[in-house]
Structure 1
Amino acid sequence: MGTEQHTAPAALLARVDAAIVDLDGTMVDTLGDFAQALGRMLQDLELPGIAPALIERMVGKGSEHLLRSVLKHVLAQDSQALPAIEIEAKAEALYPRAWERYQHHYLAINGQYAQAYPGVAEGLQALRAAGLRLACLTNKPTDFARPLLRAKGLDGFFDHVFGGDAFERKKPDPLPLRKTCEALGTAPARTLMVGDSSNDAQAARAAGCPVVLVTYGYNHGQPVRGVDADGYVDALTELAPAS
């Protein structure tokens, strides 16, 4: 889709009654938290570490997917002669212990190595001032998401906060967006999805929501402007309604 077909972000707001906002990579840079919690988990399991740059490509599809991706990667590096099917089996055998240690460490450091992106609070304030209802929808577990929003002073902007465990399926499935629209009392066509990745865009397209992507997020290490979306912003302040 060429840029000439995109709608100006502020113009999109005139067509919506609410916005659904992603968390990791959209509002808060949590890569430092992921690196710390995963590093400590791997130490507990006596496994090699993993570089933050690799973690960044694995973020976005929920903690379960992240852990399995990390385990398979480090096991492959540690046991290069093993076939992929054996590495996957080893990762699955380690997963329950890995998940317990990851939860332990993530809850202990949640938000300490993370920063809200510039303009996030101001952008959310402008959306609220324009009369939009807001919900946070993330693939991060709810018990991780709520304390993080609170720690960064962002929790007060949202009518609802839904984590990856709130519904039967996660983004990029459209179900979480549809359920969030129901909670907000808005039609999908009048509910803007704001995210940072193809997960958010695919879910929005399938749910019938317009979607805007931030340019500074993760998107599995791929350029976000290559993702089908209605627009892109360099900061959430660009979503502020035109005065």
Structure 2
Amino acid sequence: MKVLEGFGVSKVLASDNPHFRPGDLISGFTGWEECSLILKTEQLRKIQMDEKIPLSYHLGLLGMPGFTAYTGFYEVCSPKRGESVFVSAASGAVGQLVGQLAKLHGCFVVGSAGTEQKVDLLKNKLGFDDAFNYKEETDMAEALKRYFPEGIDIYFDNVGGATLDAVLMNMRIGGRIAVCGMISQQSLSNPEGIHNLFSLISKRVRMQGFLQSDYLHLFPQFLDCIGELYKKGKITYIEDMSEGLESAPAAFVGLFFGQNVGKQVVCVSRE
């Protein structure tokens, strides 16, 4: 039986690789286990510790989710100061940083989430201009018209489905859509289709899917930028940490029901 794998932060116990020594802290794909034997070391990254940044943030803020937010917003969305930005799943590992970067860039930002607790975090802790609970909206297209009466310039899509369809009806001419995730469709045997794609033509909208791995040459720049913003108190990051390896299956399943608040992390060991 093969061990499940996931992105993790680990301490090297023994190594015959000259790039990694015992005691080094690394990030990369490891097994869901207390001790892993890693043979493919090409994608491992040595962590340069900073006492002002929690180690777990190398899974989220300074890890793959943070880098996804950074590259998706700056490289795919090509933001301009004063533009209107909508972020779905905005309190999640990626969305919470996208919104904060957009605010720092001088944009008007609205996020959607699935509970009142998450909506409150978006408005009162993460600095979004506004936020709403999509589960309380009977007509998403009309809801977006309320929050964006002049239309949406940038949509950072983490959910797909009906939300994407509603956004297409509310995009401004020359708008950009970064397609990061389709979480609303992943548990469906018959995924929903999109009906408003003609808006891409009539409003000259650019919609682009992407992977953070397309931009690995920007990773050092990302680490410097986001690390400094965090240490200066200009951005914050929310984690939902479960304790113990035994909590991992429930934490994973909870992601598909929106039970996590912020980046879901499982702490296997404190040392």
Bucket of the pairwise TM-score, normalised by the shorter protein: 0.3 to 0.5
Specify which structure has the bigger relative contact order, considering alpha-carbon pairs within 8 angstroms and separated by 6 or more residues.
Answer: 1
TM-score (norm 2): 0.31
Q: Say which structure is richer in strand.
A: 2
Q: Say which structure is richer in helix.
A: 1
TM-score (norm 1): 0.34
